[in-house]
Every structure is written in structure tokens, then in C-alpha cells.
């Protein structure tokens, strides 16, 4: 759908993220992207230097958008853990991070990003470095460090990193396996009630895992 009321660069990014997510860098047509955005082809060259530049700009836009959504929780966690590096505070920090992550992943604003991100997960390019170098890498590092604190330093960094990916995967499943989630639950969309139910389940899983880590049973 044309987006004539948006600035050219923003309109192009919105359409391009969807096109690249569906068809990939090689399959997406800049002519179709420009047409769908209601902009001339020259606008892509003017703003982004060409197709490759547009693709990287899409990755940067995704990283910046998700980063802005998650950053407040990460900042709060960092301040909390600087003040008190105890397992209890680490657990509180993890709860905050995962609450923010759930809200971000089920947001309609990030829905359009899913295909693009999944393509970069399966076949990483220079765009992956932009995505990972943004909030993704920072969040994974925070969770890894906090898991080690909860375990009383009994958990190795390598083990904590694997567990971090597994924990994050529980949340990401509601976006990357959206159709299965909708079919299984009978939901038609994810609104506030559904988001709350997802967060409650994730928090319970997280608490059970942290209880085992803190007791030394999960190591």
C-alpha cells in the first residue's frame, strides 16, 4: 500500500522490510518497493545509494526500533545490578528483561520485522552484524551474566550462553511460529490479555529454572 504521507526514506523502509522479508535481497524488486511506497525509483538511490544500502538501512531501522523498546528495561537492570549484585537482584533483573522482551516480540510494531530477522538468522549477511550489534547482542550478554550470578558462579559462561538462547527461544516462538501458536491456542490475535498470558507462562518457566540454578540442582 502506498505511504505518501510518510517521508520518502521512512516509506521506503516500511515497504522494503516487508519485501526483503518475503523475497530476500536478491528476490525483492526495487521497482516494486518504490512503487508500493509511492516514491520514484531515484528515491532509493538518493536516500540509500541503491538496493544493498536499502537492505542494510532496513536492518539498522529494525535494530534501532527494537532497541528503543527494550533499552529502558536493560538500563533499569544495569542500574539494579550495579547497586546490588546478589542472586535476588539478578533474578529481578531477568524478570524485567523477559517482560520487556515479551512485550516487544508480540507487539504489532515488530510483527513486520519477523521475516527479515529470520532470513538473517538462517543466512546471515552484513545485516546480521547490524542486528546483533544492536540490542540483540546486549540482551544476550545481560541474560548470560545474570544467569551466572543466580547460579552463584557455578554455571560456566558457555553453559549460561546455551541456556540464554533456550530461554529467549521460548519468547521468540510466539513470533516465528506465530501460525502454530494461533492454531494451538485458538487465538485470532495477540492483544493485551494474550500478551499477559504469554508473559505469565514465561515468568513461571523462568522462575522454575532459576530456582534450580540457585539451589545447584540445575547445574
pLDDT tens, 77-121? Answer: 877 666 667 899 999 999 999 999 999 889 888 888 989 999 999
Cα angle value 55/8/10 (rounded, 5°) = 55
Residue 117 covered by a domain: yes
pLDDT tens, 18-36? Answer: 999 999 999 999 999 999 9
pLDDT at 1 over 50: no
The three three-digit cell numbers of residue 161, written as one number: 550462553
- Give pLDDT, residue 82: 67
pLDDT tens, 64-80? Answer: 999 888 888 888 887 76
Domain of 1, CATH number, reads: 1.10.10.60
Residue 54 covered by a domain: no
pLDDT tens, 131-173? Answer: 999 888 989 999 999 999 999 999 999 999 999 999 999 999 9
DSSP secondary structure string for all residues of 159-171: HHHHHHHHHHHHH
Distances in whole angstroms, Cα of residue 13 to Cα of each of 39, 58, 179, 180, 216: 11, 6, 25, 28, 48
Domain extent, residue 143, equals 60-215
Closest CA to 103 of 25, 171, 8: 171
Amino acid at each position: 500500500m502506498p505511504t505518501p504521507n510518510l517521508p520518502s526514506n521512512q516509506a521506503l523502509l516500511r515497504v522494503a522490510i516487508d519485501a526483503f522479508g518475503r523475497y530476500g535481497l536478491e528476490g525483492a524488486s526495487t521497482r516494486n518497493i518504490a512503487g508500493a511506497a509511492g516514491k520514484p525509483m531515484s528515491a532509493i538511490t538518493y536516500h540509500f545509494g541503491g538496493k544493498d544500502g536499502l537492505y542494510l538501512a532496513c536492518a539498522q531501522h529494525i535494530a534501532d526500533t527494537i532497541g528503543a523498546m527494550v533499552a529502558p528495561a536493560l538500563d533499569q537492570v544495569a542500574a539494579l545490578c550495579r547497586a546490588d549484585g546478589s542472586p535476588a537482584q539478578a533474578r529481578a533483573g531477568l524478570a524485567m528483561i523477559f517482560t520487556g522482551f515479551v512485550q516487544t516480540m508480540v507487539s504489532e510494531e515488530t510483527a513486520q520485522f519477523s521475516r527479515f530477522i529470520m532470513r538473517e538468522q538462517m543466512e546471515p549477511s552484513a545485516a546480521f552484524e547490524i542486528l546483533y550489534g544492536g540490542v540483540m547482542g546486549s540482551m544476550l550478554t545481560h541474560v548470560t551474566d545474570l544467569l551466572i550470578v543466580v547460579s552463584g558462579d557455578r554455571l560456566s559462561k558457555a553453559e549460561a550462553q546455551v541456556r540464554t538462547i533456550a530461554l529467549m527461544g521460548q519468547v521468540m516462538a510466539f513470533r516465528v511460529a506465530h501460525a502454530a501458536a494461533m492454531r494451538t491456542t485458538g487465538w485470532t490475535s495477540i492483544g493485551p490479555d494474550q500478551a499477559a498470558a504469554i508473559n505469565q507462562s514465561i515468568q513461571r518457566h523462568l522462575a522454575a529454572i532459576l530456582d534450580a540454578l540457585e539451589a545447584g540442582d540445575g547445574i
